[in-house]
Structure 1
Amino acid sequence: MFAQLQHCGRISHPSHQEENALPVAPSAIKPTGSAFTARGYQDFETPRQLETSEIVDVVDQFRQAAQNALDAGLDGVEVHGANGYLIDQFLRDGTNNRTDAYGGTIENRMRFLQEVLDAVLDVFPAERVGLKLSPENSFNGMSDSNPQGHFESVVEAISDRGLGYLHVTEASMGFTGHIEGSARNVDYGKLRSLFPGTYIANNGYSKADAEFAILSGHADLVAFGTPFLANPDLVRRFRDNLPLNTVDKTTFYIGGETGYNDYPFADQNLVSAA
């Protein structure tokens, strides 16, 4: 079992912070959208830019999180550098306009990621550490002016670390149609070729898409998230070619158990139909 380590950065809300402090981020750029709070959804607020001197403390938080995972008996950790959270905010120029050693050039923007990996690798051996990236995902108001070139540089920079795997959110969340390859603006095959270890593809894959991706050599593994929420027995359904439950996206991120532990197993569907 691997734990995913992430810091929300600007994708938080003062009500989630001690003394209602502003969320922190690489730059004081307000994200679009809203956060789910105890009072329901509230608009994101403009975050406070991290001081250069504060970044070392945030890196140490990742180190401590990795140590906590090890102490809890987990097998490894995945560093979450994707989907608009803090590491991703440092990586992409739509959210990072810093002028210090953590902004500007591609090398500077990936500095925070490299330091987090250094910290986590002080705790776990490299083969028990994964990294998640999302080069063109627009979720949480994210953007980058050159995702292809930038993330080729990122993957090349981490390719000699011996990480257990690279997990990539391909295209933007909500994307479908992998076999046709539409609506994808990054050559993920190129990224896969730059990483010498296990490549895990993710985002909008059907069973057929996943089988095609693996057989064609595009990916070593395919990860499923949303289908698992709606199908607690997804592995069996895929194995036996059973129909999937319909996902109710209105229940996402609202708190509570609705939409997370109340989807029926295939056998329950059969009983209901009878």
Structure 2
Amino acid sequence: RPDRGLTTGQPATSRLPKSRPTKVKAEPPPKKRKKWLKEAAGNASAGGGPPGSSSDSESSPGAPSEDERAVPGRLLKTRAMREMYRSYVEMLVSTALDPDMIQALEDTHDELYLPPMRKIDGLLNEHKKKVLKRLSLSPALQDALHTFPQLQVEQSGEGSPEEGAVRLRPAGEPYNRKTLSKLKRSVVRAQEFKVELDKSGYYTLYHSLHHYKYHTFLRCRDQTLAIEGGAEDLGQEEVVQQCMRNQPWLEQLFDSFSDLLAQAQAHSRCG
């Protein structure tokens, strides 16, 4: 049966050439990431039909591309993707408790948290690029969208001289994209930007994809504060464990992530 074929030696070996071209474009990933990507690609192919040889799959017009593997309906439903996302959240929870966490992971070339973090960040970036193709961003607007984690949207009323236009107001406290800590230097407040009404959804989606990691970090921080406020003398490890035992909360985060990528996929195919 196709499912069993994924665990046997020969079919698994025949699948490896399919993922080799993508690995040439980036730095060689750690072993764990290879395993996750291999399982994710295998599950995506299994969902589309019986697995064939690598030569058949590559020559077939219906063979899934790298972008198609990122479609929520395929990749996000795999167990490997859920495990990666869980590690991603655990890393953000730990960062909420220790601001130096991400830098420490980078310094030690960590193989437990860095691979899922880079995979999730990569998926978000891929979808952000697809949405960007639908936009015409001025340097000032793009810089403002990248700098400020909040975005206020105000639509002009009927009969207004600006009817059919939307005003965007980037707001919030700027932060360091790498460490997720607030910037210590002051930043000039963003101006308002007027954009077309029918394109406003693309701007808000682009902004959400760009700041997803930080927004999720804030949700993790709120969760840790709630746990710490309800009990005394809890160590960091216990707080992390309590967060990761909260299955409904984890499912809610994962569903939000899936919905965001689904929106990006739908918008990139429109018009």
TM score, norm. by length of structure 2: 0.24
Which protein has the larger Cα radius of gyration, Structure 1 or Structure 2?
Answer: 2
Structure number with the higher strand fraction is 1
Higher helix share: 2
